[in-house]
Structure 1
């Protein structure tokens, strides 16, 4: 029994070492020690998952898959998501869809507001389904799953970005989608950002990033985000650009590029505004 206790202590100390190596971006070191944990009696499925994740992050997708298959809970959504991500990265799309299953697993639907702060794993699976159909150039199915992803968890921003950047929805479909997303009061800033991105071509909108009625402290946080976030500032630049106010657009993109010279999201608007203003030399 003392040997078992010592073994458990040893496993915990190795886990701490793995976490520390990950925090320092020493992924091969983390994988080296994590692989030793799964040789010990005190290993758990979580250790298998962590090792697979470390292989995935190092682009060793086949190795990650083999590691996942050794875990006894390899049919859980979390394991299936990572397995699907490995297969998608390996361009094995049909196999990826087969691991994910074609249907949204409604047997484990719970109210998103009752969940932890993490992104819903089923929303992430829906996103991955969408990305696979996207890669196969099936835009209708891709849009379907991106929408399902957002409806499952509106914080799955990548699904939103895919829908908007690839112009997958009509303006009516965008409005309908936004109405099905139930934002928490504390995340009203996110709702305003989504709404503004959806309305960028709508010339009847006179101001971007408008907030609905909300409490002062919520408004204060939202205004801080709108004033300083590169994404919010880009939404404003986008708004001015599509409203043909190229001077204001240029002022905005110039401000963004001073804060973050590598903010590629605003670059097209910056260059197009310079052309419109005949400031090509800049």
Structure 2
């Protein structure tokens, strides 16, 4: 409480042997010893000073919990908190893990590990699978798995351990209600068991932790609309559920819901002015309206209040990146990567900044690291595809873009139309014009007012020799973006070639301007 962390650590020690030393005193006071002490206390009236001295303490020894794993877990948890306060997150993660292994019911240790992004997905899975839970506590193991990282499952299949745990919790049935078990004679017993279990654990389908975990899973897959619907319903039922607030705010930001962010931020600031979440909400609002200076100021305030709040660090870096301040953005992302070793998003952001500054080698390294942490994020594969495209590896780019699109939920296709367009570019570079045109058409179905996609489709039709179709799409592109000089030049080339197609004797005439326009358009980069 006083912040004297070094003194606290010197008292606790740094080994499990220290736990044994601290628990010896509890071992010495058995119930028999406690009874003997009370008898001696009764004899103190006879005049023995030593006996009265032993009976004097007011601590009720019989009320002490028996020594064991719970006490060891509490000591490990305290060491983890001390190391986290000293910013030694590696040691903090080690002691939090030991606390949870010693006492599986030590939820504070799990919350610190997961909320602080201290472990990778593999480490989290190994820790949770090794917890010494009893068979009747299986629901707790499922709840822990549902709260863990969502990186081990694809977007469409939902085969990840977190997705399976959430589905099993939602379909949880008490032992007496398993389908096909018992008969009419056991109905009363089954009903009694069901009632007891519901009273003990609550209906998991509407449990706040389960709903929050499901919303986080949907957000990690890019299904922002469904995640927002779930968090909104949960917050209407439980307005003080801060566990789901970061997912709710991030989903609202992705959907551009300025009014919701404004109202939610005001409520949170009134209720929790000393927490990081309210100021993160204020930063999200300003980021949504394009006021990046104010956004980074409030994101920065959130990081100062709670340095272990990962979303604020990412928002802080994004606000700098939105204003092309790469150095400050990289500093924020590096801090996030150092603090949250189990999160892949800072690595992706660093790679994107390196790619934006045309440092392809370093960008490739960070994207590769991000892919090792999370291979099921479409953003990672989209960026890897862009990197391969710029390296003239068009087949590799096609593979990554196809993988990214396979991971995007159907409801979020509109937000990923750029990946569809990028796939078209990669196919066009391989002279697979029909497939490229199909990709551009799908992209236009998602974003019909995208001038770049109209121009790309026009160029593809141009290469196919379908000049009038090319002219039509060039016109549409110029209608949406009249100052596009390159598309205007290609329109001129297409019109001239359409005219030459009626005079075969002039087709061999080669214009330098036409070739320059073609080369410029062919060099069009992916987004």
TM-score band w.r.t. shorter chain: 0.5 to 0.7
* Matching residue of 1:92: 4
* Matching residue of 1:179: 129
Q: Which moved more, 1:182-191 or 1:132-141?
A: 182-191
TM-score (norm 1): 0.59
Per-residue Cα deviation, 1:76-116 (whole angstroms, up to 9, x for no partner): xxxxxxxxxxxxx111112212222322235869xxxxx98
**Which sections of structure 2, spanning at least 5 residues, go unmatched?**
25-64, 179-193, 261-527
* Matching residue of 1:36: none
CA contact (8 A) 1:119 1:155 kept: no
CA contact (8 A) 2:77 2:95 kept: yes
Structure exhibiting the larger radius of gyration computed from Cα positions: 2
Aligned partner of 1:237 among 195, 201, 215: 215
1:151 aligns with 2:129: no
Structure 1 CA distance, aligned partners of 2:11 and 2:107?
23
**Which sections of structure 1, spanning at least 5 residues, go unmatched?**
1-88, 110-114
* Matching residue of 2:441: none
Deviation at 1:136, TM superposition (A): 0.4
Per-residue Cα deviation, 1:155-208 (whole angstroms, up to 9, x for no partner): 101111111111111111112111220212222121111112223233334435
Structure 1 CA distance, aligned partners of 2:143 and 2:150?
11
* Matching residue of 1:209: 166
Structure 2 CA distance, aligned partners of 1:279 and 1:218?
43
Structure 1 CA distance, aligned partners of 2:118 and 2:5?
21
CA contact (8 A) 1:146 1:160 kept: yes
Structure 2 CA distance, aligned partners of 1:240 and 1:273?
10
- Equivalent pairs counted in the alignment come to 188
* Aligned ranges 1:100-249 → 2 under 5 Å: 100-104=12-16, 105-106=19-20, 120-204=70-154, 205-206=158-159, 207=163, 208-211=165-168, 216-217=175-176, 221=197, 224-249=202-227
Structure 1 CA distance, aligned partners of 2:177 and 2:84?
36
Aligned partner of 1:272 among 247, 250, 261: 250
Structure 1 CA distance, aligned partners of 2:215 and 2:221?
10
How much is the aligned-residue C-alpha RMSD, in angstroms? 2.9
Relative to structure 1, the CA distance from residue 150 to residue 264 in structure 2 (aligned partners, 3 Å threshold; closer, same or farther) is same
Relative to structure 1, the CA distance from residue 169 to residue 231 in structure 2 (aligned partners, 3 Å threshold; closer, same or farther) is same
CA contact (8 A) 2:77 2:99 kept: yes
